Amino acid sequence: MRSRALLFAAILLLPFILLSFSASNTNVVKDVFKQTNQFRRSKGLNQLVMLDQLNAIARKHSENMARGRVAFGHQGFYQREALEKKKIKGVSTFGENVAYGPTSGKQVVLMWEKSPGHRRNLLGPFKYIGIGIAKDKQGRIYYTQVFAG
């Protein structure tokens, strides 16, 4: 009887747990976006515009890395680039940053700023950005930024 009550309580709480994780994800994504644009502004560059289509591409890659479907890294980049080209007409430059571990947007953007390749993407000739995050079973956050210009 006790296990049934626990199961019932877990089922009732699941939507609240999922909503909490979703709200937390949204806040981290907003923070990454804010920190990225602050860094670009500090270098005299235009702010990027966030696009839902690019967020979906970035989120899918983060989910795939967090679930172990692909190794951490840029595996499948050219497929994501082709998807971006289909979704956004008239763009010709693309970039991607990935990371895992940091627990805030500020931390991950600072980490990317210190890495020459990631920094190049942060400061690249882009107009649009998509940001996606996902957590693995241990709670580590996987980040993906995709850029288009």
Higher pLDDT, 13 or 85: 85
Q: Is the pLDDT of residue 123 over 50?
A: yes
Banded pLDDT at 104 (limits 50, 70, 90)? very high
Name the average pLDDT for the chain. Answer: 87
Closest CA to 132 of 21, 37, 35, 30: 30
Three-class DSSP labels, 41-109: HHCCCCCCEECHHHHHHHHHHHHHHHCCCCCCCCCCHHHHHHHHHHHCCCCCCEEEEEEECCCCHHHHH
Q: What pLDDT does residue 87 have?
A: 80
Q: What pLDDT does residue 26 have?
A: 79
Q: What pLDDT does residue 1 have?
A: 55
pLDDT digits (tens, 9 = 90+) for 27-86: 999 999 999 999 999 999 999 999 999 999 999 999 999 999 999 999 888 888 888 888
Q: Is the pLDDT of residue 88 over 50?
A: yes
Whole-model pTM: value is 0.82
Least trusted range by pLDDT, from 4-8, 97-101, 117-121: 4-8
Q: What pLDDT does residue 79 have?
A: 87
Alpha carbon distances (Å) from 25 to 21, 38, 129, 136: 6, 20, 16, 13
Q: Is the pLDDT of residue 23 over 70?
A: no
